[in-house]
Amino acid sequence: MKIGNAYGAGKFGLSYEIFPPKTEAGEEQLFLAIEELMAFRPSLVTCTYRVGGSSRDKTLELTVKIRETFRVSTAAHLTCVGSTVEEIRKWLKRATELGIESIVALRGDPPKGETVFKPVEGGLAHAGELVALIRQEFPHFGVGVAGYPETHQEAPSPEADLANLRRKVGAGADVVITQHFYDNRDFFAFRERYTAAGISRPLVPGVLPPVGLDQTQRITSLCGAKLPASLASEMEKHRDDPAAQMAVGVEYAVRQYRELVRSGIPGIHFYVFNKAEATCKILEALHLPR
C-alpha cells in the first residue's frame, strides 16, 4: 500500500517511524520492538534517512527488510542533505528496483552548529524541489512530506511556512505528516489554516509520546516545539524514577491523542524511537477506530 492510501478514506491509518540502528544489537532490538507494535495492525512503517557512512543504504535495506519480515507496507525517508541531484536519482532508482512504494521527501536539517541549510553544488534547496523531481521522474512512488503545527524554525512567518507546504502538496505530495506537538490547540489552529489554504491531502499528526523528560526536552527544543510547563514540571517531580515519568507521559499522551482522534484525524504517526513499550501502552488505552 502506498502512503497515499494509508490514511483516511474510510479507514484510520496507524503508522510508526523508526530509524536505522547503528549496531547489530540495535537492529535486533528494533525488530523485537516492531514485532510487539505489529499487534496494533499498522498501515505503514517509515524508516528515517541520515547522511554519513552507509546510512543512506541502510534506510533502503531496512525499509525492505521490515516489509518482508512483517508483511507491512513501508516508506523510506529521503533528504536533500549532502547529495547532488544525480546522487538522489541514483538512490531513487535503487529504491525502485527494491520495490519500495513510498518516499517521505524532506529537505533535512543544517549540520550541527549551522542555522541555515546550504545545498551542495548541484543539489536541491527545498523539499518541494525533491517532491517535484520524484513526481516528474519517478511517478510510481507515493510521497509524504513534513508539516509544522508550530511553524518550522527557519520560516519567517506561519503564512510563509504554510505557503511552502502548499507548494509541496502542489508539487505532488499525497500526505502531510506533522512534527510532534504537545498542545492540541497548535494542531487544530494549523489544521484550520491548512484547510483554509485549500490543501486537501490527509493531514496526519506525528506524535512523540513524552515518556522520558530528558529525551522529550532535548528533541522538542532541537526542533523548536513547545513542551507545556505543567507537563514538564509533573515529569520533573519523578526525575529519578523513569517508570513514574513514563506513567505521567503515557497518561498525558492518551488524553492528548483521544482528543485528536475525536476531532476526526485521518490517522496517527508515532515517532517510536525504535522502542515499543510506551507506544503499546498508549495504543492499548486508546482503542483506535480501525
The whole-angstrom separation of Cα 95 and Cα 136 is: 16
Contact of 267 with 17, CB cutoff 8 Å: no
Residue 61 in the binding site for ligand FAD (CB under 6 A): no
Residue 154 in the binding site for ligand FAD (CB under 6 A): yes
To ligand FAD, the closest distance from the beta carbon of 165 in angstroms equals 7
Which residue from 30, 75, 127, 278 is in contact with ligand FAD, where contact means CB under 6 A?
Answer: 127
- Region of 124-132, 212-220, 224-232, 252-260 interacting with ligand FAD (CB under 6 A): 124-132
Residue 160 in the binding site for ligand FAD (CB under 6 A): yes
Q: How many residues bind ligand FAD (CB under 6 A)?
A: 24
The whole-angstrom separation of Cα 197 and Cα 236 is: 40
The whole-angstrom separation of Cα 214 and Cα 236 is: 10
Contacts of 153 (CB under 8 A, 6+ apart): 223, 224
Based on CB atoms, which residue is closest to ligand FAD, 128 or 249?
A: 128
Pick from 274, 85, 69, 87: nearest CA to 61: 69
**The 74-78 sheet, strands edge to edge:** 203-204, 175-178, 142-147, 102-105, 74-78, 44-47, 13-18, 267-271, 206-207
Helix (H, G, I), strand (E, B) or coil at 216: helix
Q: Is 17 a catalytic residue?
A: yes
Residue 193 in the binding site for ligand FAD (CB under 6 A): no
Residue 49 in the binding site for ligand FAD (CB under 6 A): yes
- Region of 89-97, 160-168, 191-199, 240-248 interacting with ligand FAD (CB under 6 A): 160-168
- Supply the angle between the helices 242-262 and 277-286 in degrees, to the nearest 10: 40
Based on CB atoms, which residue is closest to ligand FAD, 186 or 251?
A: 186
Residue 79 in the binding site for ligand FAD (CB under 6 A): yes
Residue 161 in the binding site for ligand FAD (CB under 6 A): yes
Based on CB atoms, which residue is closest to ligand FAD, 77 or 246?
A: 77
Catalytic residue among 17, 101, 150, 234: 17
Torsion of CA 44, 275, 127, 222, to 10 degrees: 150
Based on CB atoms, which residue is closest to ligand FAD, 59 or 256?
A: 59
Contact of 167 with 130, CB cutoff 8 Å: no
The whole-angstrom separation of Cα 35 and Cα 28 is: 11
To ligand FAD, the closest distance from the beta carbon of 186 in angstroms equals 14
Residue 108 in the binding site for ligand FAD (CB under 6 A): yes
Based on CB atoms, which residue is closest to ligand FAD, 180 or 275?
A: 180
Interface with ligand FAD in residues 170-189 (CB under 6 A): 177, 179
Pick from 138, 127, 43: nearest CA to 100: 138
Based on CB atoms, which residue is closest to ligand FAD, 37 or 165?
A: 165
Residue 126 backbone phi and psi in degrees, to 5: -140, 155
Kindly list the residues in this chain that would bind ligand FAD in the complex (CB under 6 A). Answer: 48-50, 77, 79, 104, 106-109, 126-128, 146, 152, 154-155, 160-161, 164, 168, 177, 179, 206
Q: Which residues belong to the active site? A: 17
